[in-house]
Structure 1
Amino acid sequence: MATLAGERGLRTALGSFATGVTVATVGTDPPHGMTANAFTSVSLDPPLVLLCVRHGSATHSAIADLGAFAVSVLAADQAVLARRFADPLRPRDHTQFDGAAWCPGPRTGAPLLVHALAWLECQVTEHLDGGDHSVFLATVLDSGRGTGRDPLVFHRSGYHRLAPPSSTG
């Protein structure tokens, strides 16, 4: 087993853990969005999730100020959206949502991506410091599900589709 040193080594090791891909949004004027794979369910009762967001990002400031956000879970055919909202050079105004079908969430006003696998609207209950990121613990206010397409997966610094089930089990 090889040892991986430093930040790059840690990034390589953590990149071995496959995750789903989401776009987290905030219903400010203009709205903000970012690709996030550091998102997970915490509890069903009460319904809690957590989202990790890098300090200094526009989305971080908007979530911290507003105290609410939405998450759209991306399908395998939505890698273009994942790349767009991960691009550090994307516009920071309303045009970052151009070409992405969305509607404002009924509870938070945050953009919900229309063709996502699922969406959740969330109210921040705790804002914790996590090094160069904040951990936002949030209550799920509302949620919905789209079509049953395959999810987009992030693994080893790239977007992937799930492989078909193995016939050998």
Structure 2
Amino acid sequence: MSSEPVPQVDEGEYRRAVSRFATGVTVVTTRVGHLDHAMTANAICSVSLDPLLMLVSVEREARFHDAIIDAGVWGVSVLPASARGTAQWLATRGRPLHGQLDRVPHHQGEATGVPLLSEALAHLELRTVQTHLAGDHTLVVGNVVSVQISEHPGDALIYYRGRFGALP
């Protein structure tokens, strides 16, 4: 690591710059006891093919953070463009903790029991293998233990310049 001072970058400029990077939109889910937890996430990344690893970046102050750490298993549902309302709902800070998936069609994953959104283009189930502190977030790395792909994919939901859109 360099010992040179890090230049100050304006946070607003940084946010505007990274908003120019279009990303897919997912819902990351887990279950602790009998309580389902979910959050909209575009900060996921395929990490490795051998072994199959994926990561999600979770804000440490978010209530989802403790849930995903405690559960040790999680799911990723890749959203179609038609799920914009679901993405907005599960990105709403302060939404009720109990019943947050009541209005969203979902089922339990066979490998881990985590909730998976029924309308998704694809589902992945993961077991956490590593966590890494990264600023105000934790990078949660999971081993992929199950993959399901929709036989009738629609357009993908994307996030670009602070807005949801569609990508065919």
Return the TM-score normalized by structure 2. Answer: 0.91
TM-aligned CA deviation for residue 100 of structure 1: 0.7
Partner of 1:7: 11
Q: What SS does the corresponding residue of 2:148 show, helix, strand or coil?
A: strand
Report the equivalent of 1:86.
91
Residue 124 of structure 2 aligns to a residue whose secondary structure is: strand
* Counterpart-to-counterpart distance in 1, 2:155 and 2:49: 23
Any unmatched runs of 5+ in structure 1?
165-169
Deviation (angstroms), 1:8: 1.2
Task: Note the 1:54-69 alignment, pairs <5 A.
Answer: 54-69=59-74
Distance, in Å, in 2 between the alignment partners of 1:7 and 1:92 is 30
Runs of 4+ residues over 4 Å off in structure 1: none
| Counterpart in the other structure of 2:6 | none
- 5 Å-filtered alignment, 1:61-140, equals 61-93=66-98, 95-140=99-144
Separation in structure 1 between the aligned mates of residue 142 and residue 114 of structure 2, nearest angstrom: 14
1:167 alignment partner in structure 2:
none
Q: 1:90, 1:107 → 2: CA distance?
A: 28
TM-fit CA distance, 1:89: 2.4
Identity of aligned residues (%): 39
How many angstroms apart in 2 are the aligned matches of 1:143 and 1:31? 20
Q: Specify the alignment match of 2:43 in structure 1.
A: 38
Tell me the distance in 2 between the aligned counterparts of 1:30 and 1:6. Answer: 39
Shift of 1:51: 0.4
Residue 100 of structure 2 aligns to a residue whose secondary structure is helix
Question: Structure 2 regions of 5+ residues with no counterpart?
Answer: 1-8
Tell me the secondary structure at the aligned position of residue 31 of structure 1: strand
Counterpart in the other structure of 2:147: 143
1:27–1:108 contact (8 Å) kept in structure 2: no
Partner of 2:28: 24
For this pair of structures, how many residues does the alignment match? 159
Q: CA RMSD in A?
A: 1.3
Equivalent residue number for residue 3 of structure 2: none
1:153 is matched with which residue: 152, 158, 164? 158
